[in-house]
């Protein structure tokens, strides 16, 4: 299993390819995803923060530079943001490959509430891996997609604290909540 | 206590990181990420994929803006001697104007507290985003009338637009706290703009040249704070122009049209600049 990062040298932002590689290596080891190569491509020409992943013989991650950015210091890299962004998509990969998410729609066909629920499920697990996350940020995102109600909060708590959910179970928890 | 406080010496603890407008606008990514054919709709609404993160970032911008507005209004209370403020005493301000600035400072302090609570609610930490201090810079003019034009009319006017957008966001998302808090702060901002409009007219009543200069300064600040089209009537802008609330704040129809034109011009200039950058070899 190898991790490659492109570009190796950044011109628009002060990012460190070695840091991205190390963070990805550590996440892969923690998540037990050691049977495939991973290519991380960073688009440094945009400050947006989208991150996409494709599963093939290798795992291809395409991240916009904002996904790894320290929002306090524009154009500087944040290790926590890097770990959260990459960890989130790697957990989606693991869910699809071995976690009972085989019937989940392709990423581009997921609805906004589905994305919010899956993100909450992923980031909750990242928090338990020791990555520093702001739970309230993800709760707010979840509420925006599932409603500002006690029922939505209860669903969030369940998703956030769960391990080993299937796609069907995740859907079941959030069913009927979407605003 | 010293008068005319420099922006570089604003008191901030280690949680904050300030950047200048030059740094902000100098980020090369903001040119290259923009498509020469931008999306038709960038308005901040819950239907945007990045809605909650975009709202959190804007909320933090509001928070630091409130701090600087508090500092600016406080400075105007202190920086000038009390007199008529008219043509014969241009370096002074009427006592009643100071009272209005003191009331505004009190409002802004409350807004800071509300913004901190809203940021917590949205999952944002104090200082999580860089603070651009350009708002306070607009409050550093040595002419109090220019401060009224630049801060109360241009920047507080922008606050009306921002709060209206955020209030609508809260309404559409079903977030009762966001909608309620933005509505209350919006009411204060309308009052602040009205105070600026009233005092500008009153103090420059017999000094048309000074009024003209102040309105020109306002126009410059309005364009600067349109941030290359961030705020305009166009759906391509994340923040809309809150025409009705601007009317309530004392803007004439002509003045609202002028701001709409300036904002749209900023958007079009930005688009032309991006198209040129993309076309360059």
Inside any domain, residue A133 = yes
Closest CA to B208 of B87, B93, B83: B87
CB contacts of A81 in chain B (<8 Å) are none
Number of neighbouring beta carbons within 10 Å of residue A11: 9
- Asked if A18 and A93 sit in the same domain, the reply is yes
Chain B residue nearest residue A146, CA to CA: B173
Tokens of A114: 């589905």
Average pLDDT estimate for B97-124:
97
Interface test with B, best of A72, A138, A148, A179 (most B CBs within 10 A): A72
Number of neighbouring beta carbons within 10 Å of residue A49: 18
Nearest CA-CA distance, residue A1 and chain B, Å: 32
Q: Which domains does chain B have, with CATH numbers?
A: 46-276 (1.10.620.20)
Q: Domain range holding A24?
A: 3-98
- Asked if A19 and A78 sit in the same domain, the reply is yes
Q: Check residue B271 and report its DSSP letter.
A: H
pLDDT at B40 over 70: no
Average pLDDT estimate for A140-154:
97
| CATH number of the domain residue A89 falls in | 3.30.379
- Asked if A87 and A113 sit in the same domain, the reply is no
- Asked if A93 and A124 sit in the same domain, the reply is no
From CA A36, how far away is CA A19, in angstroms rounded?
20
Inside any domain, residue A179 = no
Number of neighbouring beta carbons within 10 Å of residue B55: 27
- Asked if A27 and A88 sit in the same domain, the reply is yes
pLDDT at B202 over 90: yes
Closest CA to B97 of B67, B77, B118: B77
User: Which residue's structure tokens are 């693991």?
Assistant: A94
pLDDT score recorded for residue B224? 79
Number of domains in chain A: 2
Strands B18-19 and A59-64, sheet pairing = unpaired
Q: What is the pLDDT of residues A87-115, one digit of tens each?
A: 999 999 999 999 899 999 999 999 999 99
Residue B275 vs residue B245, higher pLDDT:
B245
Interface test with A, best of B16, B61, B64, B123 (most A CBs within 10 A): B123
Q: Say if residues A108 and A50 touch (Cβ distance below 8 Å).
A: no
Domain stop point among A74, A98, A122: A98
Inside any domain, residue A55 = yes
- Asked if A122 and A161 sit in the same domain, the reply is yes
Residues pairing with B19 in the sheet: B132
Taking CB atoms and an 8 Å limit, are A140 and B122 in contact across chains?
yes
Query: What is the interface size between A and B, counted as CB pairs within 8 Å?
Result: 83
Taking CB atoms and an 8 Å limit, are B175 and A143 in contact across chains?
yes
pLDDT above 90: percentage of residues in chain B: 57
Taking CB atoms and an 8 Å limit, are B32 and A140 in contact across chains?
no
Nearest CA-CA distance, residue B187 and chain A, Å: 24
Minimal Cβ distance to B52: which of A13, A141, A179: A141
pLDDT at B166 over 60: yes
Nearest CA-CA distance, residue B52 and chain A, Å: 5
How many residues in total does chain B contain? 281
Average pLDDT, chain B: 89
Complex prediction ipTM: 0.93
pLDDT score recorded for residue B26? 80
CB contacts of B175 in chain A (<8 Å) are 143-144, 148
Q: What is the pLDDT of residues A64-87, one digit of tens each?
A: 999 999 999 999 999 999 999 999
CB contacts of A12 in chain B (<8 Å) are 28-29, 32
- Asked if A134 and A65 sit in the same domain, the reply is no
- Asked if A93 and A113 sit in the same domain, the reply is no
pLDDT at B76 over 70: yes
How many residues in total does chain A contain? 179
Nearest CA-CA distance, residue A50 and chain B, Å: 9
pLDDT at B31 over 70: no
């Amino acid at each position: 299993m190898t991790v490659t990062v492109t570009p190796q040298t950044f011109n628009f932002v002060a990012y460190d390819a070695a840091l991205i590689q190390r963070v990805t290596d550590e996440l892969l080891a923690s998540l037990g995803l050691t049977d495939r190569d991973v290519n991380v491509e960073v688009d440094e020409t945009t400050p947006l923060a989208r991150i996409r992943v494709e599963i093939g013989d290798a795992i291809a991650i395409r991240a916009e530079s904002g996904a790894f950015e320290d929002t306090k210091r524009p154009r500087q890299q944040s290790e926590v943001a890097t770990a959260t962004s990459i960890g989130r998509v790697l957990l989606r990969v693991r869910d699809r490959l071995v976690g009972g998410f085989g019937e989940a729609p392709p990423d581009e066909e997921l609805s906004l509430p589905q994305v919010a629920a899956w993100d909450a499920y992923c980031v909750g697990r990242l928090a338990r891996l020791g990555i520093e996350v702001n739970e309230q940020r993800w709760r707010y995102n979840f509420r925006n997609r599932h409603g500002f109600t006690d029922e939505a909060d209860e669903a969030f708590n369940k998703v956030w604290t769960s391990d080993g959910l299937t796609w069907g179970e995740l859907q079941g928890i959030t069913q009927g909540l979407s605003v | 206590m010293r008068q005319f406080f420099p922006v570089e010496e604003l008191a901030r603890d280690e949680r904050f990181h300030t950047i200048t407008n030059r740094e902000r606008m100098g980020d090369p990514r903001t040119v290259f990420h923009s498509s020469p054919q931008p999306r038709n709709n960038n308005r901040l609404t819950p239907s945007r994929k990045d809605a909650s993160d975009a709202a959190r970032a804007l909320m933090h911008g509001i928070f630091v803006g409130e701090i600087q507005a508090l500092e600016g209004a406080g400075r105007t209370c202190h920086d000038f001697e009390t007199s008529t403020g008219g043509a014969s005493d241009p370096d002074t301000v009427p006592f009643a104007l100071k009272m209005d600035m003191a009331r505004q400072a009190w409002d802004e302090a409350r807004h800071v507290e509300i913004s901190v609570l809203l940021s917590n609610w949205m999952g944002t930490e104090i200082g999580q985003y860089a603070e651009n201090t350009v708002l306070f810079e607009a409050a550093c003019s040595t002419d109090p009338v220019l401060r009224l034009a630049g801060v109360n009319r241009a920047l507080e006017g922008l606050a009306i637009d921002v709060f209206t957008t955020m209030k609508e966001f809260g309404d559409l998302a079903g977030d009762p706290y966001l909608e309620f808090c933005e509505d209350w702060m919006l009411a204060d901002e309308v009052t602040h703009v009205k105070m600026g409009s009233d005092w500008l007219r009153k103090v420059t009543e017999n000094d048309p040249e000074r009024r003209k200069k102040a309105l020109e300064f306002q126009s410059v600040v309005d364009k600067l704070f349109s941030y290359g089209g961030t705020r305009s009537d166009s759906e391509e802008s994340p923040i809309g122009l809150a025409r009705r609330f601007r009317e309530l704040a004392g803007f004439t129809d002509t003045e609202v049209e002028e701001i709409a034109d300036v904002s749209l011009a900023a958007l079009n200039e930005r688009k032309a600049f991006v198209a040129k950058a993309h076309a360059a070899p």
